[in-house]
């Protein structure tokens, strides 16, 4: 069998809560193939963000391991990059310098940086705004800068935690289309946390449904419809129902 690009085995994570320990993740097993776009859904507080941070190497699990190309990883690495929300951009830097920030830190010379950032600014339709400051952009544009900033690092795996949560519906619909194009162009492996079941069905090659705490992956649902998909696609409604019917009992348990 083909080796998974990324595999998590039995990830367990506790947090101190009042006088006892709370088990957030109760053994998360997930296999992600190269080029998969896995959307993670689950009840609030079940540990999706914690799981993503553990995969990024920003947090250590109490038990279990992360395998990247079959090898255990325990720290952050350039092959797994988290797309932080647009709020994490540097307001004192211009758009292009925000996008090039990671490359600069990695010691890439100026001309090469400019070449790389140009490609992603184009892809994100931000070329005209390369010299703007981030406060001069709309929320959706800032989100695109945040995505470009991660993409320039050319990671194998992109980790995204509710990147569209703060957007208005129109901007989100635009980015849903753009995100599918980006994925098709770059063939990145993506882990994408969302609360929005329609968003998960539109974007994902698979949707991973988390159970309530202590969380595990309750079900991994493949999504095989043609792209580009939109939230209005009637083909996707049955799938959304299926995901919701798995989610509903978990959300009730967490109340
Ligand atoms: N640093 C921390 N200290 C203590 N408890 C934490 C910490 N981080 C997370 N938790 C707890 O772990 C659980 C999972 O949190 P997490 O943020 O991963 O959930 P989530 O699934 O991302 O939720 P949401 O959908 O609301 O974003 C919660 O009960 C939370 O209170
Ligand atoms: Mg979260």
19-23 mean pLDDT: 92
User: What pLDDT does 88 receive?
Assistant: 85
List Cα–Cα distances, 15 to 42, 61, 64, 177, 203, in angstroms: 18, 11, 16, 37, 31
Ligand 1: residues whose CB is within 6 Å? 15, 22, 24, 42, 44-50
Best residue among 43, 48, 159, 214 to mutate for probing ligand 1, ranked by most atoms within 8 Å of CB: 48
For the chain, the C-alpha Rg in angstroms (whole number) is 18
Locate 63 and state its tokens: 């038990």
Cα of 49 vs centre of ligand 1, distance in Å, is 7
For residue range 34-60, what is the model confidence (pLDDT) as tens digits? 999 999 999 999 999 999 999 999 999
Can you identify the CATH homologous superfamily of domain 6-79+155-253?
Answer: P-loop containing nucleotide triphosphate hydrolases (3.40.50.300)
Tell me what the pLDDT averaged over the chain comes to. 93
Locate 57 and state its tokens: 């190497």
- Are 42 and 195 within 8 A, CB to CB? no
Each domain of the chain, given as residue ranges in start order, spans 6-79+155-253, 86-154
Q: Place 255 in a pLDDT band, splitting at 50, 70 and 90.
A: low
Q: Which of 61-65, 112-116, 150-154 has the lowest mean pLDDT?
A: 150-154
% of residues, the chain, pLDDT over 90: 79
CB pairs under 8 A, 24+ apart, for 59-63?
59/13, 61/11, 61/12, 61/13, 61/25, 62/12, 62/13, 62/14, 63/10, 63/11, 63/12, 63/27
Residue nearest to atom 4 of ligand 1 (CA): 15
Top pLDDT among 172 and 229 is at 229
Find the helix or strand (DSSP H, E) in which 144 lies.
Answer: helix 139-151
Q: Which of 106, 104, 175 is nearest to 142 (CA)?
A: 175
Residue nearest to atom 12 of ligand 1 (CA): 24
User: What pLDDT does 1 receive?
Assistant: 65
Top pLDDT among 108 and 254 is at 108
Q: Place 125 in a pLDDT band, splitting at 50, 70 and 90.
A: confident
Cα of 196 vs centre of ligand 2, distance in Å, is 13
Q: Kindly report the number of other CB atoms within 10 A of residue 242's CB atom.
A: 16
Residue nearest to atom 16 of ligand 1 (CA): 47
Say how far apart CA 183 and CA 39 lie, in whole Å.
Answer: 13
Query: Closest ligand 1 atom to the C-alpha of 50?
Result: 18
> Is pLDDT of 9 > 90?
yes
68-97 mean pLDDT: 91
Q: Which of 51, 1, 55 is nearest to 27 (CA)?
A: 51
User: What pLDDT does 170 receive?
Assistant: 82
Q: Kindly report the number of other CB atoms within 10 A of residue 71's CB atom.
A: 7
- Are 73 and 91 within 8 A, CB to CB? no
> Is pLDDT of 202 > 70?
yes
Cα of 215 vs centre of ligand 2, distance in Å, is 13
122-150 mean pLDDT: 91
User: What pLDDT does 172 receive?
Assistant: 86
229-239 mean pLDDT: 93
């Amino acid at each position: 069998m083909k080796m998974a690009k990324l595999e998590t085995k039995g990830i367990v994570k506790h947090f101190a809560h009042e006088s006892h320990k709370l088990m957030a993740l109760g053994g998360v097993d997930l296999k992600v193939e190269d080029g998969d776009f896995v959307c993670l859904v689950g009840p609030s507080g079940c540990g999706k963000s914690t799981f993503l941070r553990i995969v990024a190497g920003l947090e250590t699990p109490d038990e279990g391991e992360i395998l990247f190309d079959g090898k255990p990883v325990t720290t952050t690495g350039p092959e797994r990059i988290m797309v932080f929300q647009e709020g994490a951009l540097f307001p004192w830097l211009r758009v292009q310098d925000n996008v090039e920030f990671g490359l600069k830190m990695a010691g890439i010379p100026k001309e090469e940086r400019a070449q790389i950032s140009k490609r992603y600014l184009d892809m994100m339709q931000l070329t005209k705004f390369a010299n703007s400051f981030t406060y001069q952009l709309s929320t959706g544009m800032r989100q695109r800068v945040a995505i470009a900033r991660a993409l320039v690092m050319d990671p194998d795996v992109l980790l995204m935690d509710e990147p569209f949560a703060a957007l208005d519906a129109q901007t989100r619909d635009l980015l849903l289309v753009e995100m599918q194009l980006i994925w098709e162009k770059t063939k990145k492996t993506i882990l994408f946390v969302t609360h929005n079941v329609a968003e998960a069905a539109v974007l994902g090659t698979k949707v991973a449904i988390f159970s309530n705490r202590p969380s595990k992956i309750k079900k991994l649902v493949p999504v095989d419809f043609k792209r580009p998909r939109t939230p209005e696609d009637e083909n996707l409604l049955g799938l959304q129902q299926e995901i919701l019917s798995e989610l509903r009992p978990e959300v009730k348990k967490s109340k």
